[in-house]
């Protein structure tokens, strides 16, 4: 299994979540976060905002579904502008259901 952590624009949330649901990825966790990329924030007039609102999505998928999940997130999160976000992928070595205590792997 793989864990996808995607940092996206908050205004793209509904598009990304709808896209994931249409592809059969219903389970996820999301957080409102602050961050910045290479552009080091945004300057509006004389004011600089060095931390911007972002949304962090965490989705765990089977290895065979990884490419499809990433493509879905990219397609629905992309605006073509700086600050569209990042996707990080890591291995999931263990997972347990709290209610039953059973291992998922």
Report pLDDT for 6.
98
Report pLDDT for 41.
74
Domain 2-91 sits in CATH at 3.30.70.120
Report pLDDT for 42.
77
Name the percent of the chain lying above pLDDT 90.
75
Domain ranges of the chain: 2-91
DSSP 8-state symbol, 39: T
**Residue 45 confidence class, pLDDT cut points 50, 70, 90:** confident
Q: Which position has the token pair 């990219």? A: 74
List, for residues 4-14, the tens digit of each pLDDT value: 999 999 999 99
Mean predicted confidence (pLDDT) in 69-79 = 98
Distances (CA, A) of 50 to 19, 28, 56, 61: 30, 28, 18, 33
């Amino acid at each position: 299994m793989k864990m996808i952590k995607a940092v996206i624009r908050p205004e793209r949330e509904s598009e990304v979540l709808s896209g994931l649901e249409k592809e059969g990825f219903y389970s996820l966790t999301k957080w409102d976060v602050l961050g910045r990329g290479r552009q080091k924030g945004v300057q509006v007039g004389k004011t600089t905002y060095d931390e911007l609102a972002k949304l962090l999505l965490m989705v765990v998928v089977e290895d065979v579904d990884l490419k499809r999940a990433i493509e879905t997130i990219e397609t629905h999160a992309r605006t073509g502008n700086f600050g569209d976000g990042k996707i990080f992928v890591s291995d999931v070595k263990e997972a347990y259901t709290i209610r039953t205590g059973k291992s998922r792997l």
